[in-house]
Amino acid sequence: MSIKGMTRAEARKIGGRKGLISSVVGLITAYLIMAMMTGIGGRGMDLGWIADAGMQLNMVLGAVIMLISGYLWGQLAGITILINKKNHLVAGILCGIGALMTTAFLSGLPGFLLEGMPWKYSIKEGFESYVVKPFTWITVFGIIPAVAVGVWMGWRIKRCRI
């Protein structure tokens, strides 16, 4: 149920805003998943895991990439749902997965360029260690939350009014 006469710019603005909010929900979800995983072994949830991770810069960079990615994929979802009148669930899921995959790939590149390139072995091994492995783990643990948040985002975009 889109609004008659809605412009692409308005749909893009709505989608971007909902995508950004969805990215924040995704970041909180990812943080809690890591807290549960690091708390295994009788420690319960380790909410301070990020202080022990030793990768604070990478985490902040990944969070920024996720927020930007969610905003941009949200804009696409807004146009797809409100202007092109496509199914909001499918559009939300695809854009949620797109944001996850974009974040997973791009967040590994700085580590590869700074640490993986000058490896004493090969570029292939550096790429596998700094891009492929994180991409795989982020996808494995993030696909279900990305689908759930994508459904929620699509629904929020569909019911949005200017």
Q: Tell me the domain boundaries of the chain.
A: 8-158
Q: What is the pTM of this model?
A: 0.85
Side chain identity at 82, as an amino acid letter? L
> Distance between CA atoms of 148 and 123, rounded to whole angstroms?
36
Angle at 47 between CA 44 and CA 134, to 5 degrees: 100
CA–CA gap between residue 13 and residue 132 (Å, rounded): 33
d(CA 20, CA 39): 29
DSSP 8-state code for residue 7: -
Average pLDDT over residues 29-51: 74
pLDDT band of 161, cuts 50, 70, 90: low
What does the pLDDT read at residue 73? Answer: 98
Q: Residue 112: pLDDT band by 50, 70, 90 thresholds?
A: confident
65-100 residue pLDDT tens: 999 999 999 999 999 999 999 999 999 999 999 999
What's the CA gap between 113 and 116, in Å, rounded? Answer: 6
138: buried, middle or exposed (CB in 10 Å: 19+, 13-18, 0-12)?
Answer: buried
State the virtual CA torsion across 44, 49, 53, 56 in degrees, nearest 10: 160
145: left (phi over 0), alpha (psi -120 to 50) or beta: alpha
- Tokens for 17? 């805003």
Between 21-25, 44-48, 152-156, the lowest mean confidence (pLDDT) is in 44-48
Q: What is the DSSP letter of 73?
A: H
